[in-house]
Amino acid sequence: MIVSDVPAPPAPEEERAQHRALDRTIRVAGVVISLLATILTAALELFLTQLRLGGVPVGVSILLAAVANPAIAWFAVTTTERAWALGPPWALWTVLMLAAAGIRTDEGDYLIGASDWVALVTILVGSLAFAFYAYRMILSRRPARYDLGGGRR
């Protein structure tokens, strides 16, 4: 009889439970990281709306919103493998932008004024970037095929 120090492989149920726990951890981490990235990019976009070169507003925040928001959406959906993961970053970004546009400072000024066209276009483009990603995701879905027995293939 040969005795070895190699441990026995885990039972299939244990392995599946470990796999499910790891999947859940990755999904939760994906959502949390996408929300943190949303906060970071929204704050950066708000700060960059005031950027001017020679007194002329520069639309860097518009470009950042157009690039970063679909990237955050892609990350959230890819890491979670769920379409709903697009919703939390989109909702958080929208709430942050609308709060910045609607909150008055102690002096009575708005953080984003009605005359700040760069900030207003950033809000529009950023939200449309999330919407465009969602639209593309919906279009890329293929209809499910069914066999004659009624089950999915």
Q: Quote the pLDDT of residue 17.
A: 85
Which of 68, 71, 127 has the alpha carbon at shortest distance from 97?
A: 127
Q: Quote the pLDDT of residue 146.
A: 47
pTM score, whole prediction: 0.80
Instruction: Tell me which range, 95-99, 105-109, 138-142, is most confidently predicted by mean pLDDT.
Output: 95-99
CA distance 45 to 31: 21
Strands 52-53 and 56-57: antiparallel
Q: What mean pLDDT, rounded, does the chain reach? A: 87
